[in-house]
Amino acid sequence: MKHFSPAADNNKDHILQALLPYLSGDLSVLEIGSGSGQHALHLAQALPNLTWQPTDRGAGFPDLVDNIGAYGGDNISPPALLDLADDIWPVTRVDRIYSANVLHIVPEPLGERLLRNASKVLSERGFLMLYGPFKYGGNFTTPSNSEFDQWLKARNPESGVRDFEWVEHLASQTGLHLTADLAMPANNQLLIFGA
């Protein structure tokens, strides 16, 4: 496995269990910012009813292609390029969109594009599923998330743990409504928005 992420390995099964109620039936899934592909591989292997499209951009993309090629099964498509800066998405219709640990990495305008474009391609009764740390009422849920935010901003001032309310407001502007806000291990959340 290239570009292996210990964090992705630790949280992948918790994410699978939490998402199970939203992943029954034959469904197409678009993942944004797949990274190493560990989540794609774990969820697609566990749920053969899914057809999973991993995506990413940048220097890590070849490693994602290699990982999916080496370990992926029939229900994972070869990774596609998706840069949130471009508004060019590899699908025009999809049942589920999953993105983990991306909103706090990309600048806010790209987070806005994620929400806006997601609402355009999600099928009726589709779900957008966002995983990562969030602030509530301007407050970090834990001191470690505050430290993480400082670390992110030192790397890139445009990164940072986002406000839950900002995400929910953007989603509602695009016609997506909050269905669930699930507390996850390691001070993360899973936000589920319905189309």
Ligand X SMILES: C[S@@+](CC[C@H](N)C(=O)[O-])C[C@H]1O[C@@H](n2cnc3c(N)ncnc32)[C@H](O)[C@@H]1O
Q: Closest distance between ligand X and the C-beta of residue 76, in Å?
A: 15
- Smaller CB separation from ligand X, 177 or 186: 186
Category of 161 on φ-ψ map: left (φ > 0), alpha (ψ -120 to 50) or beta: beta
41, two tokens: 């591989």
Q: Is 105 in the site for ligand X (CB under 6 A)?
A: yes
Q: Is 33 in the site for ligand X (CB under 6 A)?
A: yes
Unique residue bearing structure tokens 């990774």: 79
Q: Is 106 in the site for ligand X (CB under 6 A)?
A: yes
Could you tell me which residues are beta bridge partners of residue 188? 184
Identified binder of ligand X from the candidate list 27, 29, 34, 122, rule CB under 6 A: 34
Which three-class secondary structure state does DSSP give residue 41? Answer: helix
- Smaller CB separation from ligand X, 32 or 171: 32
Per CB under 6 A, the segment of 18-26, 81-89, 169-177, 182-190 that binds ligand X is 81-89
C-alpha 85/C-alpha 138 separation (Å) is 26
Which helix (H) or strand (E) element contains residue 153? helix 143-155
Identified binder of ligand X from the candidate list 57, 140, 174, 182, rule CB under 6 A: 57
Q: Is 60 in the site for ligand X (CB under 6 A)?
A: yes
Q: Is 35 in the site for ligand X (CB under 6 A)?
A: yes
Q: Is 83 in the site for ligand X (CB under 6 A)?
A: yes
190, 179 contact by CB (below 8 A)? no
C-alpha 53/C-alpha 146 separation (Å) is 32
Which residues in this chain contact ligand X in the complex, by CB under 6 A?
5, 8, 32-35, 39, 56-58, 60, 82-85, 100-102, 105-106, 110
